[in-house]
Structure 1
Amino acid sequence: MNAQKIAPRQHHAAVEDFIESGAHLFEKPVDPAAAAALLAQIRADRHFDHRLFLSEAEFDADPQYVGVNPRPGRNLLERFEDQLAFVEQDANIVDGVTALLGPGYTILNKKVVCGVSQTSVPAWIRARILGNPVNNLGAYVRPEYRDVTYFYGIDFHQDLIDYKERPADFLTLYVYLHPVSRQDAPLFLLKGSHRLGGTVFPHDLTATSDASWTYRDGQGGVVETDQLILTGGAGFTAMWHACTLHGTQPDAADHERISLRYLLAQGPDHAGMDEVNATLQGPLLLTQTRTDLAADGQAQVKRNTINQA
């Protein structure tokens, strides 16, 4: 009797990409016209320049480093719920996310993320944040504008960083609302970095070339990873695993970079993410996710790896 060959199981392309590289880039953008329309409304709401920020004296009178990000009731996207179908109901996105998270997936979080241009960040702020691994500008932004997350570059990190003691059962979906070039603070993503599972930020990375890195988990695990720079037009969309390292350099353009960021969590049933996570070499849950912040939320580490890229 001849032994029968059993063909390897075929996965959805998004699941295969997550297993291999920890990310999936959608071939087709979401509706560029709808992205442009939402962008116009967001930009009409405020000036994304120096007027966003407190003066140095105002900041020093009452410095606040925590509680300065969007939250329920203070989230600009809550005012534009009716315009988000071009992302949340896009057939390709729903198909890819469902393959990974199951049909019962939920939205953990969604918000506008703004990479603020160098020309718009006051010099006194740039001097204070120089070398910080996470330049979240929320502490310096006027309270009425803290319904958006503002960055001036952020070192390679995992999105697990914000979810201590939660398993990596979620993914990040990111949408560019306008064309993003190399000068517009595009996302840098390290392919295959998710294989080491959750590791504590800041991460142990050594550049091995202009576009590759050696990544160590501190427990003997090592991954050689290639750097992918996510540039694209309006509506460009990508998603990645909660353990995939990514970040941005400061915005070198003369205008802001405005995007949408969703965190989407697995539903109650077995899904592609379970198969992805079964291939990882490290933990899916961390009791400590970062060591870069002091008790008051102020940066206590002055080291930034991504700016070497």
Structure 2
Amino acid sequence: MKKSLMIFTILLCLHFGFLCTFAAAGDPFRGLPSDVSLHVSNLDQTGNLIYVGIDFAVFQDEDKDGVFTVKEGKVKRFLTNHTTITVDLGSSDEYKKGVMYKLAMRTLYTPGGPEGNGVGEIIIADYSNGREGWVLIPNSEFIPTYFADSNGDSIIRHTEKWEENRQKYNASKVAAGLDSMVRPYGVFWSGEKFMIDIQTTEEVPAIRVSINDSSYSTTIKASAVTTSGAIYRGKLWNKDMLNKWGNYIPKELTFAVDALDDSNTVLETFETTILVDNRDLYYRIKKAF
């Protein structure tokens, strides 16, 4: 599913101008933005140069080594006197899932003044910057993904009964003035069934969910196919999980989530964590997990 990438509070200083984009700082955007809005300001005021547009490009870190290079076929020139430009990044078929991409631009001018009069060869701002004028836009990273959501609370869930237990437990602690003992959604008792609910942006043959540093793993087929992808529901549980973790100190568990092809080759993977806190004796002795 394509979404718009909106970036706020970025002012990228160029030698001959500013680029203002609309994207939020933080982790890379997961998915493919449907469009990107660019605003160029603080252009040359000397009269020696006349703004005539920008070059826009998508860079990629295909080798996942932190080095971004221009993606073939994803360079576009906008010859315009407009300083607000909207760019369509194209189809998701043009991008590899799990690869990080980043946006870049460079400002274009022609000579001004009595001799130039805005005609002649296009001048690329900061061409000698080592990237032929390209400037990678901060916080513009995105990763096309098979997964519609990588939020652990949405993916690793409680059973209905144990969500009811958690809420009752929290209510009792609040009533006793022990707000610090309230358990967020991502905290489990050891032995609860881990209910898996994963949505993908397109159907894949299977999803595998494993707990790192353990033998616990399950592979799930699609339970429903939608116009925007597929839904995978299942559970990860074994009876020897009862009272296994967090009896004295809360234990963080990391789940690896893999999208698999027909030969069980991993197409894409991500990790999410939950916390197991089993210190409450009343819930530790419960058997109906």
- Report the TM-score range of the alignment, normalised by the length of the smaller protein: under 0.3
**Higher relative contact order by CA 8 Å / sep ≥ 6: 1 or 2?**
1
TM-score by length of 1: 0.24
Of structures 1 and 2, the larger Rg is shown by 2
Is the helix fraction higher in 1 or 2? Answer: 1
